Amino acid sequence: MLDAAEQGELKALWAIGYDILLTNANAPATRRALAAMELVIVQDLYLNETAKEYGTVFLPVAANFEKDGTFMNGERRVQRVRKVIEPPANAMPDWEIICRMAQAMGKGDLFAFKSAEEIWNEVRQVWHAGSGISYPRIEKAGIQWPCVSDNDPGTTILHGTSFPIGKQAALRRIPYAATPELTSGEFPFLLTTGRTLYQFNAGTMTQRTRNLELHPADFLDVAPQDAERLGLNDGEKVRLRSAYGKAQLPIRINPAIKPGELFATFHTAEVFLNNLTTPYRDKHTMTPEFKVTAVSIERL
């Protein structure tokens, strides 16, 4: 979608609960794409970096416990969520915003829902694997799909005896393809980026909690041998530079890191680590190559 936007083929984007600018790898390309669009709608709990820099319209939404609905977790369990407090002024549930937008565009008859439960019941009508999961059935505990009728207890273990396509599933061996991103005299370190247990992605929610006491900022983890060789002290702020961009952040000397390798999280806009991550992507899934960026460390 961002490729199409940069090429002028996608004119508008509606981002719900996703800080595209801060989260995506290769932030310079993301900026070009967002700047090229005529309309960028950001729908989120807080004014995130995408909204601040490129948002045409910002739509504030209700948080988890300010609305009714369902959650589906990683083990396929559908659970109820109940409204316990009122949302701030002007904030409303995502579904209600979408329905109001449809009404304003003359399509209100196709989005004439009055509650989250009405929407879920329509999902059940078109999704056979979840057709037996009604609100009354998950009032006290969630149910794991497939659950195809009101008497079905749900499926605790998926693919216990077979796959949807039969008793066996074919696996395809994908040949290893080396990354074109290599270290050099100019960029002698390999940087891996990732998350920490205490913050999530762009930190839109978690950085507004006491989690900051556990992980207050992005750090650059450096092996003791490399820190000693470069004369770096724990907590010292450095400039991290790649062929694509740069960022400044404090180092943390970490014996768990191998010499020649670095690790940093990408949660804070103050650092904006994705300014320097690569443009490369996996050729099958198009997933960005967050994990391999050749960089240099410069003292400030």
Same domain, 195 and 272: yes
Cβ within 8 Å of residue 118, ≥6 positions away: none
pLDDT given for residue 196 in this prediction: 85
96-115 residue pLDDT tens: 999 999 999 999 999 999 99
Q: Looking at the predicted structure, is the pLDDT value of residue 290 above 80?
A: no
Tell me which amino acid residue 57 is. Answer: V
Residue listed under structure tokens 């659970």: 79
Q: Where is 285: in which H helix or E strand?
A: none
Beta bridge partners of 57: 41
How many domains are contained in the chain?
Answer: 3
Whether residue 220 is found in the same domain as residue 251: yes
Query: Does the structure show a pLDDT above 80 at 217?
Result: yes
pLDDT exceeds cutoff 90 at 14:
yes
Kindly state the percentage of the chain with pLDDT values over 70.
Answer: 100
CB environment 259-298: b (16+ within 10 A), e (fewer): eeebbbbbbbbebbbbbbbbebeeeeeeebbbbbbbbbbe
Contact 193, 290 (CB under 8 A): yes
**pLDDT per residue as tens digits for the range 140-175:** 999 999 999 999 999 999 988 888 888 888 888 989
Q: Which of 128-132, 210-214, 223-227, 252-256 shows the lowest mean pLDDT across its residues?
A: 210-214
Mean pLDDT, residues 189-208: 87
The backbone torsions φ and ψ at residue 205, rounded to the nearest 5 degrees and listed phi first, read -100, -50
pLDDT at 222: 97
Q: Which residue type is seen at 114?
A: K
Residue numbers of the domain that contains 275: 189-299
Last residue of a domain, one of 42, 60, 78: 60
pLDDT, tens digit (0-9, with 9 covering 90-100), for 72-96: 999 999 999 999 999 998 899 999 9
166 within some domain: no
Q: Does residue 293 lie within any of the structural domains?
A: yes
Tell me the whole-structure pTM to 2 decimals. Answer: 0.86
